Amino acid sequence: MDHGRTTISVVVPFYNEAAGVEAFFARLFSVADAMPDYEFDVVAVNDGSTDVTLARLLEARERHGRIHIVDLSRNFGKEAALSAGLDRARGEAVIPIDSDLQHPPELIPDMIRRWRAGAEVVLARRNDRVTDGPLQKFAAGMFYRMHNVIAETKIPPDVGDFRLMSQEVVEVLRGMPENRRFMKGLFAWVGFRSEVIPYDVAPRLEGKSRFNVWKLWNFALEGITSFSTVPLRVWTYIGAVTSLLALVYAAYIVIKTIFFGTDLPGYASLMVGVLLLGGIQLIGIGVLGEYIGRIYGEVKRRPVYVVRKEFTVER
């Protein structure tokens, strides 16, 4: 490491991205080479890829140098891969970025200027979601609105993992003990002085997004249950209101029976009541189960990721 230059760590998760590895590093190092006052240290995390991504990363390491490869033992997910990269990022500033080039590396010099001017976190916010399908746009909009209404920690809309963080911010993130990590929420929770840079999202370099509706739904659940207990509290009020209505209806039945006698019992109304209350109870149990599942996952204290092998950069 050249101690006369400022080191910038770039953290890049890879999962089955073999076709785009060389194009990504060509763009990234083109930007890095135009900034001679900075030394770029890349941490590439192979998140259990089943294609030849690791081989392509090793080729890129031979060609470009400056690439520290972390090969995980299986696919642990992007949040774990980011954590593995942040754990090894020793630069004075750290930049997580996707490898599909939807996050433009050309934005990095502006990020560094904002950081040098005093920002501890520089967020990259996408101008639009033209590369997403209608369902993805709707789901993303609903998630941000719902999350920011019920959670104490607000997540900036349309801001992903692409950002610059000072080493002080990354140190705080490393010290957070969660096993199930919702990184967008953790990034927002730590705070620090932040600035926002808008950017236009480019089409994916290769392939298509792996986030289908089911994964987006589970991702939203993970975020909401990580940073809000409102879903649990809501069921207290639902239960109270339902009990009150049941008491009012019971009083009505008693009074009606005393003064007007009994009617022939109605099968339909009975079934509606049973199914309605049963459905409410099952939904409540499901919400409770989400939180119990998180507790179960945390108390086991398994590691967030497992490393098969590391290929470090020779200094």
Q: What is the pLDDT of residues 5-27, one digit of tens each?
A: 888 999 999 988 888 888 889 89
Q: What is the pLDDT of residues 133-164, one digit of tens each?
A: 666 666 666 666 666 666 666 777 777 788 89
DSSP the chain: --TTSEEEEEEEEESS-GGGHHHHHHHHHHHHHT-TTEEEEEEEEE-S-SSSHHHHHHHHHHHH--EEEEEESS---HHHHHHHHHHT--SSEEEE--TTSSS-GGGHHHHHHHHHTT-SEEEEEES--TTS-HHHHHHHHHHHHHHHHH-SSPPPTTEEEEEEEEHHHHHHHHT---SS--HHHHHHHT---EEEEEEPPPPPSSS-----HHHHHHHHHHHHHHH--HHHHHHHHHHHHHHHHHHHHHHHHHHHHHHH-PPPPPHHHHHHHHHHHHHHHHHHHHHHHHHHHHHHHHHT---S--EEEEEPPP-
For all residues of the chain together, what is the average pLDDT? Answer: 78
Kindly tell me if the per-residue pLDDT of 294 is higher than 90.
no
Q: What is the pLDDT of residue 42?
A: 92
- Domains belonging to the chain, first-starting first, are 6-210+303-311 (3.90.550.10), 230-299 (no CATH)
Q: Which of 114-128, 198-212, 230-244 has the highest mean pLDDT?
A: 114-128
Global pTM reads: 0.68
Q: What is the pLDDT of residue 264?
A: 54
